[in-house]
Each structure stands twice: as structure tokens, then as C-alpha cells.
């Protein structure tokens, strides 16, 4: 059985490759090149853009070292155009709307489990594999996406938009392991990437100054930071740089007019270009108990109305008890009576039935009962 694994140059995919080899699969690796600074700058007609940091070549060299150590063939494939058209343009469009997108969700949807799978099939693959902390249970007629054993690293949240057909052809070799166990295997095998730190940057773009990077692609329009009653407290650098519930970077000093409590982003007014803030981490302005979710995708089973499920509205969030109501095939309302802080438009709402990740969609708006939040 032939398996082609996405080898990123990180320790997780490196260990996944070793496991597949040890288990006797006919395995090859494939490195995805998805970001080209020069090409993308040319598309924008801006060749002088400050975007000279490209970590992918170093990642490729790391991947090549691991593949060579394990005696595995490494293919290299270019998905730059696909990434730009399906992930990065979406990323920019969401910021233009004042939302906070999650590029990792879309990268999995369009690149890692779509474009990658299609190319792997041309190379004779029966399955693809990734170094995600997730598990899959393949049954005769259906496959189920299961949470990774390491609850702190579980990545099923980012996989909520993949399809049943894609999952049917997917393996997750490290999903049954914890991160320390993965590191241990890497050290025992003396893999080149055994001590490489985890990437925390934008999917395939890498770690860089986010403000400076985004400024290259979207115009920055400063405006006022205001309270809910319109009092101006300061200036913001551009609405795209802020997310709901954010405290850091507001630059609001103390004032005799208000209590001595921290300020948090509570909303955005795109028409007036105002950033709306309120005081207190758990301000009622940040709490909602229902939200509307679109771009729905169900991997195995569609949730039933009235049945209790668990949900996550951001990565690593504790499970939240929810019920759902379908408005139509591509819009649902999610109810969470206990109330949740900073349920943010543009982020994914992912539904779980115990260990099984059913899928989810993208948050459009949050409400407290019938009152829409300012975001």
C-alpha cells in the first residue's frame, strides 16, 4: 500500500514519516512549496515590498535531511498559484471585511487535503498522510475524524473543512501520541529535526512581523479608538490589526473618567473606521450565547437539532456544550446557554460528538439572545 506523506521539515511530520516506514508502508514524502515572495509581489505590482524573509527553503533542506536519513524519496511540488488563489486571497478578503480569518483551516481545505491529494494520486498513492495531531477511524462505508490523544495539541479544529472523500484517503501517524512522545521518538532515531521548534507563523508564510507583512497587501487606515458611547480614547493603526477580545497593543492610558480597569476590543465599525473598546476581560459586551455559522461542512455525520454536542470557537478552547438549529443547508445557529467570550466572526466553529469531529463552518455573527454583538 503506497502512502505519500506531507513532509514539512518539522519534527511532527518527520516522526510521522519514520512511523510509516517502520510499519512497512511503501512510503514517499512530498514537500509543498506554497509561498513565493517574488511571484506574489509581482502579482501585486509591488516588487519592492519588504518581504525578504522566506523560511521555506530552510524547511525544504530540513525535510531533505530527514528523508535522506530514512532512505525515503522526497518529491517537491509547487502549489504557489493554488495557495494564492484559494487561501491567501481569502485571508485578505476577510481582513477587508473587518473579520479575523483562520488561514490554517483554509490551507487544509484547499491545499493539504485537496491539491496535495490530487497530486499524490497521480504518483500512485493509495493514501496521503500528514503530521497532524488527529486520528482517523476507517470503517467499511465511512471514515471518522477523531481528536488527537494529546488534548493540548489536538488539531482537528483546523481540519473541520475537509471532506469525507479526502478523509477516506488520509492517515495521521502521530495522532495517538503526545508531543513529548513524538520528541522522544525523534531523539531515539536521531532525526535531524528532533530539536526544531514548532512553527507559530501564518500557514506556509512563516513567522514575521504581522503588522508589517499585512501592510504590504492591504492599505493601513488609522482611525479612532472609541468607547461604546463615542468617547475618543486614542488612535488605532488600522482595524485589520485587531481582533475581538484583544487587550495588548491598544495603547490606552489611564483616565479619571473611567475605572482603573483594562480595556478590550469589543467591536469594529467599518463605516466610521472606529475600533470600539470596553473595560473588563469579561465585559458583557464580549459575551454571547448564540451565533450564526455558514460555509458548513460535515465530514461524517450532520448534527441533529436539539441534541447536545460540544463545540470550539477557537483553537485549544475548552469544550462548550451546544445545540444547533439549521436555517438552511449552509447556515446554522449554534446555542451555548452558558455564554462564551469573544466568539469572533471569521473564525471556525467546530462541532464534536465526543471524540468525533463532525465538521463545522465559519462564524458570521454573535448574539446575546436577540441582541447582535458589535462584531
Among residues 146, 169, 155, 198, which one has the least CA distance to residue 316? 155
DSSP string, 222-282: -EEEE-TT--EEEEES-GGG--TT--TT------TTS-S--EEEEEEETTTTEEEEEESTT
* Helices 179-188 and 11-22, axial angle in degrees (round to 10): 70
Catalytic residue among 160, 203, 266, 357: 203
Catalytic residue among 107, 160, 266, 357: 107
CB atoms inside a 10 Å sphere around CB 86: 18
Pairing of strands 223-226, 232-236: antiparallel
Is 291 annotated in the active site? no
Count each helix (H run) and each strand (E run) in the chain, helices first. Answer: 10, 18
Instruction: Kindly state the helix (H) or strand (E) to which residue 118 belongs, with its residue range.
Output: helix 116-122
Is 107 annotated in the active site? yes
Instruction: Kindly state the helix (H) or strand (E) to which residue 116 belongs, with its residue range.
Output: helix 116-122
Q: Strand, helix or coil at 32?
A: strand
CA–CA separation, 34 and 83 (whole Å): 6
Contact 185, 15 (CB under 8 A): yes
DSSP string, 305-372: TT--EEEESSTTPPPEEEEEEEEETTEEEEEEEEEEE---TTSEEEEEETTEEEEEEEEEEEEETTEE
CA–CA separation, 114 and 298 (whole Å): 16
Kindly state the cell numbers that stand for 209.
512581523
* Contacts for 256-259: CB closer than 8 Å, 24+ residues apart: 257/231
Q: Which residues are catalytic?
A: 107, 203
Amino acid at each position: 500500500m503506497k502512502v505519500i506523506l506531507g513532509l514539512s521539515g518539522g519534527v511532527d511530520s518527520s516522526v510521522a514519516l519514520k512511523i510509516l516506514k517502520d510499519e512497512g508502508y511503501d512510503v514517499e514524502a512530498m514537500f509543498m512549496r506554497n509561498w513565493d515572495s517574488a511571484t506574489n509581489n509581482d502579482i501585486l505590482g509591488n516588487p519592492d515590498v519588504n518581504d525578504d524573509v522566506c523560511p521555506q527553503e530552510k524547511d525544504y533542506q530540513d525535510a531533505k535531511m530527514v528523508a535522506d536519513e530514512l532512505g525515503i524519496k522526497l518529491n517537491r511540488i509547487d502549489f504557489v498559484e493554488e495557495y494564492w488563489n484559494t487561501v491567501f486571497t481569502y485571508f485578505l478578503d476577510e481582513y477587508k471585511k473587518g473579520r479575523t480569518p483562520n488561514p490554517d483551516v483554509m490551507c487544509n481545505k484547499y491545499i493539504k487535503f485537496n491539491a496535495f491529494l490530487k497530486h499524490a494520486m497521480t504518483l500512485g498513492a493509495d493514501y496521503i498522510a500528514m503530521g497532524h495531531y488527529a486520528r482517523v477511524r476507517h470503517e467499511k462505508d465511512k471514515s471518522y475524524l477523531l481528536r488527537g490523544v494529546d488534548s493540548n495539541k489536538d488539531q482537528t479544529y483546523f481540519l473541520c473543512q475537509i471532506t469525507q472523500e479526502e478523509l477516506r484517503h488520509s492517515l495521521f501517524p502521530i495522532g495517538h501520541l503526545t508531543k513529548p512522545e513524538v520528541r522522544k521518538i525523534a531523539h531515539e532515531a536521531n532525526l535531524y529535526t528532533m530539536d526544531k521548534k514548532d512553527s507559530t507563523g501564518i500557514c506556509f508564510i512563516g513567522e514575521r512581523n504581522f503588522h508589517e507583512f499585512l501592510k504590504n497587501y492591504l492599505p493601513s487606515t488609522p482611525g479612532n479608538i472609541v468607547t461604546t458611547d463615542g468617547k475618543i480614547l486614542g488612535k488605532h493603526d488600522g482595524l485589520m490589526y485587531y481582533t475581538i477580545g484583544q487587550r495588548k497593543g491598544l495603547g490606552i492610558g489611564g483616565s479619571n473618567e473611567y475605572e482603573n480597569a483594562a480595556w478590550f476590543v469589543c467591536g469594529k465599525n467599518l463605516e466610521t473606521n472606529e475600533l470600539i473598546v470596553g473595560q473588563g476581560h469579561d465585559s458583557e459586551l464580549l459575551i454571547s450565547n448564540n451565533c450564526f455559522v455558514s460555509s458548513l461542512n460535515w465530514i461524517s455525520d450532520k448534527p441533529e437539532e436539539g441534541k447536545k454536542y460540544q463545540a470550539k470557537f477557537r483553537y485549544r478552547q475548552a469544550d462548550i456544550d451546544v445545540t444547533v438549529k439549521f436555517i438552511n443547508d449552509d447556515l446554522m445557529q449554534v446555542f451555548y446557554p452558558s455564554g462564551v467570550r469573544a466568539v469572533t466572526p471569521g473564525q471556525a466553529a467546530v462541532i464534536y460528538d465526543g471524540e468525533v469531529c463532525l465538521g463545522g463552518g465559519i462564524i458570521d455573527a454573535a448574539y446575546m439572545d436577540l441582541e447582535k454583538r458589535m462584531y
